[in-house]
Every structure is written in structure tokens, then in C-alpha cells.
Structure 1
Amino acid sequence: MTTATLEPIDTQASTPTPAGDAHTGAAHHPALRFITCGSVDDGKSTLIGRLLVDSRAVLQDQLAGVTQAGAADLARLTDGLAAEREQGITIDVAWRYFATPERKFIIGDAPGHEQYTRNMVTAASQADAAIVLVDATKLDWRAGAPVLLPQTRRHSLLVHLLRVQSLVFAVNKLDAVDEPALAFARIRAALEGFAAQAGIEVAAIVPISALQGHNVAAPSAGWCGYQGPALLQLLERLPRTAPDVALPPALPVQWVEKFSDAAHTHQGRRVFWGRVACGTFTAGQQVQVFPGGQRAVVAQVFDHVRHPCGVAAGASAGVVLDREVDVSRGDWLLADAPATADPGRREVLATVAWLDDEPLVAGRIYWALHGHRWVKARVRRVVHRLDIQTLAQEEAQALAPNAIGRVELLLQEPIPATAFDVARVPGSLILVDTASHRTAGAALLH
């Protein structure tokens, strides 16, 4: 099955640098992975194009290829699919790389259409920060604080639910309104009210013009009454998502490697490879295999280049145990616990972002992917649905496409589940349609 995954991508290893990038010394901060999201035609692709051009991450022939009649269509720098260019919309997530003298960036252009929300969720699950664009020309700000567009609210809520470290609102196209300072003040008030109601912590609210470049790479002093840093200056300072290193060690096994040559591993035993979900793996630790329950001692730990060392959450590791035990892909290596403690759960309560075209209803059975383990999951009941406009929890019998709600799931086999608020990887799973094998929902466990 090919599905989206909520597991973060490791960017601590070497990060590709685009051709033509002159900023090779951007090592003051670790690389930041961020996405742009928001409603349709809010200027997400144009903003990314502006960042790429102003940071000199675009070659002259690439820029010439999107220039017509002397004007560059910056959105075409990221809309790479033929369907995207034909329709003038973003469908899939496009990842691009650029750098400034201060930092390297990995940027994702997430689609704004509701039917492609699943792609936005996949991108957000891997991001350290999110820029939610707001189109000032689409909002009725003249009478006061305007009503935000549903997709602006939905994407902001999803970013918040997925524990993205930093959220920045960028109010775009203010150059196209007749009273930009007043428009920005009232839209900012609407965004602040929504964020307070939803419990969202906002890193900044910035007025920009992606097309003209105002407040994007360099500050436009006093424009729209804003005196803060430009968007790119903010990005250079934002923190990366901290891995869950303070928790007991846990590793979902992705690959089992067997060497017969004892020189490569401890006495020729198997190596269990995966990305550490929580804590730190070091030699000498007592671990337990889930679901088998066997106990062993960690004899050796290798990093991604097979160097023996301790490996912390967020990085790939190879673990060798002091004795042969039955471990397969999909199993977990967990910190040893008392024999009376059962790390597995079959009944889980989850907040679900529903991504399928068919609604989620009680009684339906899906595949659930937890780490690298597949189990069947039956929907016991829909607890409630979140109203995007009022943020009220409403009674519901089903979740419609792109809805967010709370659901009770009954799993065919137990999983070592943790609350998503505590640990991202053990606290999340993907629901997949058993017939079409399409990703149906992203579940965040409680």
C-alpha cells in the first residue's frame, strides 16, 4: 500500500542545495522545513516564487521560462504538474530548497482546494512552521473585522492539531486594496480573534505583497502601519520542531538486516533499522519487543552511516540485541516495562481529519497504519464534529470529506499507542480504505 505518512522527515543529514545557490555558508541555524497554505488563489505559489527569486535560488533560464511580456509568473516556478499549469491551481505538494546567509530552507507549496486537503495534511505533518496566507481582496473588511474564509480556518486548525511548531499569518495582496493600512488592521483583528478562540499560538501576522515583494525578503518600513521584520527575517529566526527525546525510547522497526559476518555486527546478529520515535537508544538498555513481549538488552546501536553511537528521536538507527528474538517489520522496540504493564491498546479515541471522498460512518472498517504496523480498525462511533466557523463541537453520525471530528476506534490487534500531545509518532496513525487503498484519514490519538 502506498499512503501518506505522519512520520517526520529527517533533515539533520545533508540537505540538497539547489543549483545556483550562492549561500553555501547558511549554517547559523538548522534547516527549517515550512509550508505555505490557505485558501485557493491566496498567492501561495507566488509567495514561494518570490522567496526563490529574492534569495537567488532560481537560475536565469528558469526565470526566463516563466516570463511573458516582461512580467514573471512566479507561481509557475512551483506548479510543476501539467494539470497545475493548465488549470492555474496547485494540486500536489511541491518541495523546493533555498538558502540565505543565515539559514537553509525546505519549503512546501500546499494546495488550497478542499479536495486536496489530504496533500496539505501530509505536508504539514513534516513541517516545522506554516505560513497561512490570507487574501485581503476576498474579505469584506470595510465594515469591521471580516469573516475568514473556511479554508483559512480549516488549514489553521489542521496546522494546530498537527503540532506544527510555528504558525505565521501572511495577509497578502494588500497592494490591491485602496486602504491597505485599514484593511490590514481589521483582518489582523479577525485573525487574532479566531486564534484566541481556537487556542492557536501565532508567531506573527505580517502584511505582504507576494507579487510586488513588499515585506517578503526585505522590510517595507511603515507599510500598512507595520513596523516588524519581513517574512523571510521571521523565518530565519523560527525554531525547528523539537524531537521527543525526553520520553522512554521507542523505535518502529522498518527493516530487518541479517549479516553472517561477525565483523559487521555484534556476533553476526540481526540489525533492526528504523527511525527512533522517542527517547534515545544506547547500548546496555533493557528493551521489550512489541507485540511479542520478549525482553533483551541493546548490544549495539548504529547511526545512519553505521557509526556505533547513541541515536536520539528523529534520526535513523540500527539496533542489535544481545540475543536472537523474533522481530519483524512492523514490530516496536520499547523501553522495558514491568511484566504487569501492558503497553498495547485496542480501543483508542482520536481526533480525525477526514480526507476521503466517502464519509466516515460508524461500523466501517479501515486499515490503520501505526509506525510500520498494519492493523484493521473499526469505527465504533463518531463522538462529535468540529464546526469550522464557530469551533463548536456538534453531534454527528458521520464525518464528511475534509471534516474534523473525534472518533472512537476499535483495533483488531493492540498497538503501543501514546497521546499525540505527548509523542507524535506513537500518537498518530493513518486510516486507509481497504478496497481502494487510498489514504482516508489522519488520526491523532488521545
Structure 2
Amino acid sequence: MIVRALFTTFSTFLASIALAAPSNSINQELAQKILQDERLEKVTQMGYDLLSSGMNAGDKYDQVWIRDLNTFIVPLLEVAPQDAVRDALLTFFHFQGQDGNIVDGFVSRDEGRLKKYQRVYRYTPTRPNLKAHKNSVETDQESSLVQAVSLYIQYTNDSSILDEVVRDIPVRERLEMALRFPLKYRFASKYGLIWGGTTIDWGDVQAESPKGVELDLDTHRAVNIYSNALFMIAIDSYLSTVAKDSPTQKAKWTSIHKDLHAAVRKHLWDEASKKFIPHLYLEEGSPFPADYDENQIFYHGGTAVAIRAGLLTPDEISASLKRMRENVEESGAPSIGLTVYPIYPEGFFKSASQRPWYYMNGGDWTWFGARMIRQLARNGFAEEAMTELEPMLDRVIEHDGFYEWWSRDNQPHGANFRASAGVLIEAITELRKWAEQNSEVKSAS
């Protein structure tokens, strides 16, 4: 089957970039269980089928979004023309601001159903048939593009993209421009970390306005774990591809990465509670009532990204998983894809999309839950990874597709969401790679 061939190629690639996992005893019984589970192959094939049909985020979105594309670019390259993926990445540089900022996404000039972006569409004469938009509340677009280009290079060995000249500037220079943007325009010197608007974990809607996608006079600037962990991963990506042959660049960005790591541990990690603090506010006060204890909230998605960034020890990963499982049980959520718990109360976010138990405020997102599962598999928690993966496999098969998010009663919302397919493929591949390495069959061969 095609999926078996794709798995061999994909797992070889993953092995080349995998993080070193702590040693653990070989569990041949678990390995056999994973290799014999037909759901893994079925869902993987379903995922490849969806990814082969386009690069836009999903049925709900006409746009190609960089925060999404970054999370499914490797499995996408298994089934899509390399030139098309390369051109999509280059398109983001055509819309790059002079200050280095990167847009969220682009779409045909005649399309685009998200009316909240109508006022802020960006145009460029070098891509006259397209338009782009930027959510200024986020601080992850630059990090996402740097990571996506690095993954593209690692998978295809096409480093020539770095020398492609876009609007008179080579891509390798544009990548550093992108990294410099948050350091220059989104840097909180008080904490040594980058800031954004007050959103729910990795979300892109701020609390203070109904649309919530633009910084304004009501914005409460805040530091959170998601943006900073993702930025650290972006620096790692830059070091491994762009800066690897430049001692000056390597020294500079290695030092910045080290400082970010220390600052996250000092200011965002709550050692007593074994969790990340949701927000550190740069100005006095938050958007929420003065007597509200925001630090009771556990951010599932940002924690998963922090593990990927190497910010937590194995014991802290175990403690985080324990908390996620407790949150799922107490909330009645279907999986550890639960965004946050406890949720933000009614009225804390002016956007209707952030009301209790809806979308990012208590919805269940495979897009981040599967990333946590992949990190469990990479860090020596294969049995736990398989346990947490099962409800995600079952609902994809039962509902015959990949969805943006799931409600507390495990009902799907937002069909054909490619990012969900991409991260599930990567989680499955990571588990199957572990199983291949630890199976009785392989050890006897």
C-alpha cells in the first residue's frame, strides 16, 4: 500500500531530526500492539488523502495559513508537488513587511471568507493575484515560517530556497529579518521574553474586542509560554539550516536561545504547581476582574509546544500529563486535546467564539493534542502516547474525517482541517517508529 511506502520515507526523515529520548525498557508487547493496530494505518491513509487535495487550512478557510502549514508541511511533502510547497513558502516572503513581520496567510484576491480581516488585507505587486492578512495579536507567524522553511530543507535537501531572491532580498536574509521582528518589536525587557495580546493559550483572539485580531488601545500586552516556546523552536530550526555554516550567526542565535530558555524557566514556570503561568502582564492589571486567579488555568497546547522546545524535564513531562488527564476527567472532555482547564468564565472574552466550552475556550483540538502525543512518544512515554492517541483515532474513523475541534460531547466542528491530519500522521509515525525499533519481530530479524 502507498501508506506503507510513505511511512518508511517519513519515519526515516523523523529519525534524522528526532530529539534524544531518555532510555526506557523495551516493551515488546506494546510494540506489537502498535504495529498490529489497523486504525493507525487507516487514519494515516485518510490523512494523506486529505493533504493531497490542497494546502489551505480546511473547508472553513480559503487561506493558506503559515501557523497551520508549519504543522503539516512534512506529511504534505509526501503527497504534494515539491515545487508547489516551495512556492507557497516563498509567497509568504513576498508579503513580508519591511520590518520583517510575516503575515498569517494568503488567498486568491477574489476569495477569502473571513470578513474580520477585510480592513487589513495586504497586497504586493510581485503576487498580484493574491492578498494576505496579519493578525497583530499573535506572535507566532514569524516563528512558524522559519520552522516551515527549515523542515522543507531538511526533508527535500533543497537548500537553494535560501538563495532565492524575493523583492531584492535573499530568503536567508529574510529569515533572519523574521526572527529579528519579535526581538525588536515584541520584546519585554522586564522578562527577557516576547509578548503578544491576551489570548487563550495558543489562540489568536484577544479578550478586549469582539473581533479580537488587532492590537488596539484596549490591549493588555502579555507574555505567555506558547509564543516563546515556538520562538525557541524557530531559533533551533534556523541554527540547524541557515546558520549552521556561519560561526557568527550560530554564536549570536545560540546565545539568544540560551537566554530565552533561562527566562522561561525563571518567569513562566511555576515550580510549586508544576505548570506554566498563563500570562505575565506588561502593564498594571489584566482584562479580567481583579479577584480572578488566572493561574488556576492549565494551558494544554502551550505545554506541548514547550516540551518540543526542550523546556521540561522527564519528571515535569510526567507531571504535565498527569494534570492533563485530571483536567479531561474533571471537565468531561474527550481527550487531552482540551485547550485549557478550568475554562475562562462567560464574558471574560468579548468574542462570541471564546465563550465557555466553545472553540479555544474549552474545545478539544487534535491539532495540539496530537503534538503532545508525539512528544510523549519521543520522550520515552510510548505507552501513555498510545493510550492518549486512541480516542483521537476512534473519532476520526467514526466521523470519517479530520475536524478543527471537538465539543465536550465529542461532536466535530470545522470539517477537513488539514492541520489535524498532519499532526496525527506525525504522532502515529512517531509511535510506529518506536514500535519498529522495539518489536520482537525486528529484534529477531
> Which has the larger helix fraction?
2
Q: Same fold (TM over 0.5)?
A: no
- Using the size of structure 1 for normalisation, the TM-score is 0.25
Which structure ranks higher in relative contact order (CA pairs < 8 Å, sequence separation ≥ 6)? 2
* Higher share in strand: 1
TM-score by length of 2: 0.25
